[in-house]
Amino acid sequence: MSSAVPLNVGITRSADSGASRADGEKRVLLAEPRGYCAGVDRAVETVEKALEKHGAPIYVRKEIVHNRHVVETLTDQGVVFVDETDEVPEGALLVFSAHGVSPAVHESAAARNLRTIDATCPLVTKVHQEAKRFARDDFDILLIGHEGHEEVEGTAGEAPDHVQLVDGPDSVDAVTVRDESKVIWLSQTTLSVDETMQTVARLRERFPNLQDPPSDDICYATQNRQVAVKAMAPECDLVIVVGSRNSSNSVRLVEVALGAGAKASYLVDYAREVDPAWLDGVRTVGITSGASVPEILVRGVIDLLDEHGFHDVQPVTTANETLVFALPRELRAART
């Protein structure tokens, strides 16, 4: 994980943070970066542009990103979310979600004559290519990730005969390989950096020749959001993470906040889910959001806290993100 930013480096605060604060005054620390990553921005815009260009209904396999508000908003605009390709009428337009799909899914869409647009995040496609390459070289590929997550199913599906899933440090003992000199680990893009390093250390105890991925599989956005929440957590009585329960990277932010010293941390989809009892005796509330979360939902939480006397909002900035991905080829001309 060579590109992870060291924890206590590069943290900037708003000009008059802390120092001007009267003791006992309530404050909010706002993690930066938070919210949409480049892959989510691209995936959501892909669906919006596809709707504009082709009209409703268009179909999306699985949730385009794991966020309730995004999925409900697009549903209202005429998007039909399905679990599998066989639910899509022959010849219709189907978008593949940001989490990626296996070659078998591409094949079943082609067999139904579906027109497809692939909104897979380019950083997931990169991991698929790594899986294909190491399978071609006949490596055993140990894919660290969460069982049942769509991204893991897509990546494993690139080379099912070569990939074994390793779901955290406790799964390491069950791993067996054919040739200990040809073993590599790859990972899901949204894991906890620290837990993944523990899993890798355990794997390396068993397989000293274990190879690392050619570049980080845990993506820049996952790493940056974890670094930011770690920077603010020790000062927080409470960290509110905005995100949905099925959003892996959002759930990881709650775990990272608690691991880094936040006294409490909760995941909420909407401000209305914040229980006022959580604020009893609390002076410092941290706020962050997962990579699939629109900023308007964070605004809702900030406004709610304002109503409870938390008027002072201070950014805690650990990185600046500028990455933008081009839209899928089919829609490139449509970007404004």
Told to check if 37 binds ligand F3S by CB under 6 A, we report: yes
What's the CA gap between 58 and 60, in Å, rounded? Answer: 7
- Site for ligand F3S, residues 187 to 206, rule: CB under 6 A: 189-190
Please pick, from the candidates 196, 292, 314, 318, the single residue that binds ligand 2E7 as defined by CB under 6 A: 292
Contact 256, 192 (CB under 8 A): yes
What's the CA gap between 32 and 302, in Å, rounded? Answer: 14
Stretch that binds ligand 2E7, among 175-183, 246-254, 296-304, 313-321 (CB under 6 A): 246-254
Using CB under 6 A, count the residues that bind ligand F3S.
Answer: 15
Is 147 annotated as catalytic? no
Told to check if 249 binds ligand F3S by CB under 6 A, we report: yes
Please pick, from the candidates 5, 101, 119, 124, the single residue that binds ligand F3S as defined by CB under 6 A: 124
- Site for ligand 2E7, residues 126 to 155, rule: CB under 6 A: 151
Helical axes 220-232 vs 193-206, angle rounded to 10°: 110
CA 240 to chain centre: 17
Told to check if 66 binds ligand 2E7 by CB under 6 A, we report: yes
Instruction: Choose between 39 and 294: whose C-beta lies nearer to ligand F3S.
Output: 39
What's the CA gap between 212 and 230, in Å, rounded? Answer: 25
> Nearest to ligand F3S by Cβ — which residue?
39
Query: Which of 151, 153, 158, 330 does the annotation list as catalytic?
Result: 151
* Residue 38 binding partner per list ligand F3S, ligand 2E7, none, with a CB distance cut-off of 5 to 8 Å that depends on partner kind: ligand F3S
Told to check if 221 binds ligand F3S by CB under 6 A, we report: yes
- The candidate with the shortest Cα–Cα distance to 291, out of 217, 241, 257, 232, is 241
What is the pattern of x (binds ligand 2E7, CB under 6 A) and - over residues 170-189?
-------------------x
Q: Enumerate the active-site residues.
A: 151
Binding positions for ligand F3S, rule: CB under 6 A = 37-40, 98, 121, 123-124, 189-190, 219, 221-222, 249, 291
